[in-house]
Chains A and B, each alone.
Chain A
């Protein structure tokens, strides 16, 4: 029987979205990175274009409150100092992008004042030259003020601010728009919600090339299968031509460190520190295979392992 390799062509294409701005572009970052641009299924380079390699962001948290013990012990004391932590991500650990979480602003926790948080953002901007994503603390009221201040302080840097949610997106989107920053649009494992979120942002005046979607990555063993399928379906809808879903996707895989199986002591399952790294690596790898354009990760060794695996998925580069 004659054989013909079955190839698939799609009419749609994932939009290219740029993060960070260099001096010429009005910022101080050393690079501007681009996500998206593909017109086929992830890594299906035999039948489609994939002009940009997916990016690996590393997250930096401004409070020890949420850093798991396993990370403290294996990453060392830098985790106590967000600026040092950010520096290491850039100089040693191979991050493409930084995600700074201003969790200590939370009024129910440390309640750090807006000015202090902003000054941390400025310090990080001075100390590292990678493109930056900045998340607030999750309290709607506080984030409204915080994000406005962050936006102003980083004028021209083309940050991405997060996260815009269905019920709380206006103030953060306004803050992003004011200074030409981008936005991370969060939705909860639901394609219709993801679409709705993008429509809300577009109606509000956000430019489509400034939106990255976060469809919620559930960790390995904690509902990963739901995320995997939602990401695959989002990608397919985008490729089939739905313009509202053609934004690149970000998947936050740092959640792997909250999974009991990943980190508990159990000799049968090997050393917990190494298991945790593999847990995060596999979570991120499956996000990429499903269609993520950027993954957020924590452990330097998981990042190194993932980057090597990603090069192999790209065909050896």
Chain B
């Protein structure tokens, strides 16, 4: 946001009071604090309006493509390091199908992309977009592939540097608001015309330097194309890190508008390219398109993305309370654990493997793991006893027995004293639970 003085300079300085503030300066101060809207002043000039909107915009533009219920949102980051606040828009991961592979292969690849969706610690993690690329296939093969991609329900990137073919392709998936890849110094004017006509976001790439890239974005903006995505060039991972860091720093630290856009990295098939996707997730690629990616790699890559994009201030947690796993009765075992998501979902999955009904008491530990909370004094015999009381465990269950995580065996004595329940020390790792639970039920 601009300061009150910067805003004041752009106001009409009539001090007429129609904005409900006695002076233009008073109004400027309210604007700077985002307490009022600029529209309250009837006399601001159109130029001032544009200038003010611009200076108040986020350092990196938010660009959206896809449809409302399957939208990819990239950009709008404000930090260089996650510990300074947080990273906000998880790197969008996409799979490229190339028309050289033939339509059957293209279809299979797009279907695979759609199927790469998993639940992990209570969140859905998935491949969130697909791309169709024109290389050695015929234009018709390419268009068929685009048509198929438009139907799979994920945001689409259309990859061709031929403006005419781009115009034909985008017509096939227009309601889906595709991302257009890409304008280069060679096809610039024609591709800008295509992007302007449809108002879909456009990737700009193929430049030799960040400087050249920035001069192209300025040209694009002048031509009226404002939803842009930057593709910095780079051969090695070292190059990639340098280019993406340069762009992110220029946008955030220098407020250099011509580079204040999200970024995309397009990767090939080699093992070096595969791991570059992880670099993109950590170091500033808003979107990563991959050519071939195995399930064995994509799953840990998505776990990395989940880790890097969690808010450092708030651990992901679940609500404390008494949960049913299966259909437990008043005789089923009662176990307790912490309310850190990772812990809860790990333990729950292990219990489910036993296929036995269980009461799972989730104790509030401020979202910390069992061991961390225990070491920090946030998981104590008292806090567990209180949870047992609050959740009326003894009314719902007459077994009068509580299984505790093996790592906190030290609290058994005190816990027994406080609750009068028999305390059973469970395995240290919840992976040992199926065996133990089965033994208990016979």
B83 touches A313 (CB 8 A): no
Query: Does B118 reach chain A (CB closer than 8 Å)?
Result: yes
B275 touches A221 (CB 8 A): no
A6 touches B118 (CB 8 A): no
List 20 A–B pairs whose Cβ atoms lie within 8 Å, in order of A's numbering: A1-B214, A1-B256, A5-B210, A6-B249, A44-B241, A44-B245, A222-B342, A224-B304, A229-B82, A232-B83, A233-B81, A233-B83, A261-B299, A278-B296, A278-B297, A289-B282, A290-B282, A308-B272, A309-B237, A316-B235
Q: Which residues on B sit within 8 Å (CB–CB) of A225? A: 82, 307-308, 310, 312
B300 touches A312 (CB 8 A): no
Tell me the interface secondary structure of chain A in the complex. helix
Tell me the interface secondary structure of chain B in the complex. helix
Query: Does B120 reach chain A (CB closer than 8 Å)?
Result: yes
Query: Does B441 reach chain A (CB closer than 8 Å)?
Result: no
Q: Given A5-B210, A6-B250, A274-B294, A221 and B308 touching (CB < 8 A)?
A: no
Interface bracket on B: 35 or more
Of the residues B82, B254, B271, B296, contact of A274 by C-beta under 8 Å: B296
> From residue 227 to 276 of chain A, which have CB atoms closer than 8 A to chain B?
228-229, 232-233, 236, 260-262, 268-271, 274-275
Knowing that A45-B238, A236-B81 are A-B contacts, what are 5 other residue pairs whose CB atoms are under 8 Å apart, sorted by A's residue number? Answer: A3-B250, A225-B82, A225-B308, A262-B300, A275-B295
Chain A nearest CB from B342 CB (Å) reads 7
Query: Does B431 reach chain A (CB closer than 8 Å)?
Result: yes
> From residue 74 to 105 of chain B, which have CB atoms closer than 8 A to chain A?
81-83
The closest CB in chain A to the CB of B308 belongs to A225
Query: Does A286 reach chain B (CB closer than 8 Å)?
Result: yes
Q: Which residues on B sit within 8 Å (CB–CB) of A1? A: 214, 218, 256-258
Query: Does B239 reach chain A (CB closer than 8 Å)?
Result: yes
Query: Does A85 reach chain B (CB closer than 8 Å)?
Result: no
A6 touches B253 (CB 8 A): yes
A260 touches B241 (CB 8 A): no
Query: Does B236 reach chain A (CB closer than 8 Å)?
Result: yes
Q: Given A3-B256, A6-B254, A285-B278, A312 and B272 touching (CB < 8 A)?
A: yes
**Of listed A44, A309, A312, residue having the most chain B CB within 10 A:** A312
> From residue 287 to 317 of chain A, which have CB atoms closer than 8 A to chain B?
289-290, 305, 308-309, 312-316
The closest CB in chain B to the CB of A256 belongs to B300
Bound-state CA distance A44–B301 (Å) is 23
Q: Given A312-B238, A316-B236, A220 and B118 touching (CB < 8 A)?
A: no
Bound-state CA distance A269–B349 (Å) is 16
Bound-state CA distance A3–B207 (Å) is 15
Q: Which residues on B sit within 8 Å (CB–CB) of A312? A: 236-238, 272, 275-276
Bound-state CA distance A289–B283 (Å) is 9
> From residue 261 to 292 of chain B, which have CB atoms closer than 8 A to chain A?
271-272, 275-276, 278-279, 282-283
A270 touches B296 (CB 8 A): yes
B299 touches A275 (CB 8 A): yes
Q: Which residues on A sit within 8 Å (CB–CB) of B282? A: 228, 286, 289-290
Query: Does A279 reach chain B (CB closer than 8 Å)?
Result: yes
A315 touches B236 (CB 8 A): yes
B312 touches A229 (CB 8 A): yes
Q: Given A3-B210, A44-B241, A312-B238, A275 and B300 touching (CB < 8 A)?
A: yes
Chain B 190-222, CB-CB to A under 8 Å as 1, else 0, gives: 000000000000000000001100100010000
**Of listed B118, B242, B312, residue having the most chain A CB within 10 A:** B242
Bound-state CA distance A274–B296 (Å) is 6
Bound-state CA distance A192–B369 (Å) is 21
Bound-state CA distance A262–B235 (Å) is 30
The closest CB in chain A to the CB of B340 belongs to A223
Bound-state CA distance A165–B246 (Å) is 39
